[in-house]
Amino acid sequence: MALLPIYTAPDPLLKTISKPVEEVNDDIRKLVDDMFETMYDAPGIGLAAIQVGVQKRVLVVDIVGKGRDDEAPQPLALINPEITWVSDDDAVYEEGCLSVPEHYADVARPAEIEVNYLDLSGARKSLSADGLLSTCIQHEIDHLEGILFLDHLSGLKRNMILRKLLKQKKIAS
Ligand code: ZN
């Protein structure tokens, strides 16, 4: 396993659309392993392949996380995920993103979803999710379309955060 570099906004790569995985092979399973390691190390509860510079429709989530005594980790890898149903009611969570470090904002999304995906053996699966898992999966699927949680905010708030991120990058380089 290896830690992968995380791309941060406003990197143009994060605005691109990821490509479907044609075959779930060892390369994809290696990518998923590395993504889990990178996500747990960050630490975060979700990561899309585009955030580590790989333009493929692959994402990993674990809303429990690693290293907690009270609950076992719940790693979940979704390949070529597609939302097939959303509830009428919304839920609001304060979201953050490993590609938007140190900024958080409330985002409203459908409270419940159903999603189809391929698992690590290439088998077609479907999943119903609510609560934080629903929000997390929707946030990650957005990444595959080049959408950040910032894009759900008002233009004013989004530009304020992007300007701060640019300033941080300039100081760092
Ligand atoms: Zn994110």
pLDDT at 77: 98
pLDDT at 120: 98
Question: Which residue, among 23, 22, 33, 145, has the nearest Cα to 83 in the 3D structure?
Answer: 145
pLDDT at 70: 81
Cα-to-centroid distance, 143 and ligand 1 (Å):
7
pLDDT at 172: 78
Cα-to-centroid distance, 46 and ligand 1 (Å):
7
Judge whether residue 16 has pLDDT over 80.
yes
Average pLDDT over all residues of the chain? 95
Cα-to-centroid distance, 45 and ligand 1 (Å):
9
* Long-range pairs for 87-94: beta carbons < 8 A, 24 or more residues apart: 87/111, 87/112, 87/113, 91/130, 91/131, 91/134, 91/135, 93/132, 93/135
Q: Give me the residues near ligand 1 (ion), CB cutoff below 5 Å.
A: 97
pLDDT one-digit tens code per residue, 40-63:
999 999 999 999 999 999 999 999
Spot the catalytic one: 37, 95, 114, 140: 140
Residue type at position 161: I
Confidence band for 171, pLDDT divided at 50, 70 and 90: confident
pLDDT at 163: 93
pLDDT one-digit tens code per residue, 93-105:
999 999 999 999 9
pLDDT at 85: 98
pLDDT at 69: 72
pLDDT at 36: 97
Catalytic annotation present for 140: yes
Structural domain boundaries in the chain: 12-172
Cα-to-centroid distance, 87 and ligand 1 (Å):
22
**Per-residue pLDDT averaged across 23-33, rounded?**
98
In the three-class reduction of DSSP (H, G, I as helix; E, B as strand; rest coil), residue 53 is classed as: coil
Span 12-172: which CATH code?
3.90.45.10
pTM: 0.94
**Per-residue pLDDT averaged across 85-113, rounded?**
96
Cα-to-centroid distance, 4 and ligand 1 (Å):
15
Residue 125 exposed, middle or buried by CB count within 10 Å (0-12, 13-18, 19+)? middle
